Each structure stands twice: as structure tokens, then as C-alpha cells.
Amino acid sequence: MPYQYLSTEKKTATLKSGQTAEYTLVTLNSPPMNALASGVFHDLDKLITELESARTRLAIITGAGKAFVAGADISEMRGMSVAAAKVYSELGHRIFSRMEASPVIFIAAVNGFAFGGGLELAMAADIRIFADSAQVGLPEPTLGLIPGFGGTQRLQRLVGLSNAAYLSLTSERIGADDALRIGLAAKVSPLANLIADAEAVALKVLTSGPQAIRILKHTILNGGDKPMPQALEFEAEQFSQLFSGAEAHEGLAAFLEKRPAKF
């Protein structure tokens, strides 16, 4: 499937069991700074459809050049009507919510600047790994705007209300170490090692049972906002579902037999 603003590379990981698992490396490429124009959203929409249709288990997303995604396309937003702005915001919501809810695991390898919509894209991923030179922030208030692609909601869920309010209201840029400290990044890597480190994390995910990973993502995403009794009941339902298939039985047998599981 042809894309205008991104490229994909299918890659193969070798697991401890000797089996192989495929994943996809996605590189956003919308010069000069990978701005999130409407066309990028449409490419991401096609990408998610393609990944899901191919039953791809995992994708790593990074950016070409110095930026992961420097933000929304300001030239496209200038002069928007109220109605057009709402359509634009809802487009971002739809695509990033598709990422978040997809059975595909998304790792954001944040290689450089990730401002505004770029940070909102990274926050829709399941795991965020930052290059040590990365800088992120939500500068929308300096433009007379607020984050419109989910940033007002996802940031506080990731780093807490106090940190989210500070970063949003001040529009302050932070580096990778601060992002790690507040829980926005899961890991920080030297820029030269970023993709290799992201691939090492991908291998850890791919080593586990595919169905278990899909259900785990679903459970994490959909259980967090429930009151604890309902959340625990939801967890028990998802946990018990895994015993209906061969995957859990193979994993348990492999553990007892002291061998790598073959999922």
C-alpha cells in the first residue's frame, strides 16, 4: 500500500524458541520537520488498517531527520473555521484512538523534537523510548490554542494531573531525562542506539504469547478508569478467557518442562 508521508520496513526477530516473529519499522517523513498535516493522518489510518489486516503484532514508529514529529501543520490550521477545526481535531482523535485500541503494539522511538501533535502521537503508543537528545512539549497555548489531538486527556493519565497541568499551562519543553522521571518515557537511549534499543524492547514483547499480549493491552486500556471492584472483575474475565485456547496451556507446560514456549 503506497504512502506519501511515511515508509515501512518489515523486519524479523528470532525468538528463544527458534521461532521467528515479524514486526514493522515505520518512519515518518514529511520534511522539513514531519509536521502532522491531514495527509499524514490519512497515511497513519491506512497503516493501521494494513498492520491489522496482516496480523502484524508490533510496529516501531520513528521520524526521519531531527524531528519525531515537530507538531501539527500550522499553515494548514491558519484560517480554519470553527467547523473545520473541529473536523481536524476529530480526525486526530480518531487516528490516535485507533492506535491506542489496536491489537498491534506500538512503540514510539522518539528520535528528536516531539511538540504538540508529535507528543500526542507518542502518547497514543503503548511504549515510548526517547533518544537522549529528544525534546517534547505542548506549546499550543503560545499559539492561542490548546492541544487538540488528545493531549489534554492522555498526558494527565500518563504523568498525573499536577505534571500535566504544569507542562500544558507553561508550554515548557522538557528533555528525555525529565520525561523519564515523570513517567512520560519508559526508557532513554543514546540517539545512535535508539532503534536498536527499541528493537530489543520489541523482542521482549514478541517473546510472549500473542493472545496474552493482545488481551493484556485491552485490559490495561479499558480497566484503568473503572472502580477497583469492577476493574478486578474485568481482569478476572480477561484472565480466564486465555484458558480457552492452546496458548496458555503451551506456556504453562513449557515453564514446567523448562523449555522456551512455542506460541
Active site residues: 120, 140
**Distance linking the first and last C-alpha atoms of the chain:** 29
The DSSP symbol for 37 reads -
Give the bridge partners for 64, in sequence order. none
SS3 letters across the chain? CCCCCEEEEEEEEECCCCCEEEEEEEEECCCCCCCECHHHHHHHHHHHHHHHHCCCCEEEEEECCCEEECCECHHHHCCCCHHHHHHHHHHHHHHHHHHHHCCCEEEEEECCEEECHHHHHHHHCCEEEEECCCEEECCHHHHCCCCCCCHHHHHHHHHCHHHHHHHHHHCCCEEHHHHHHHCCCCEEECHHHHHHHHHHHHHHHHHCCHHHHHHHHHHHHHHCCCCHHHHHHHHHHHHHHHHHCHHHHHHHHHHHCCCCCCC
The answer to whether 182 and 163 are in contact (CB under 8 A) is: yes
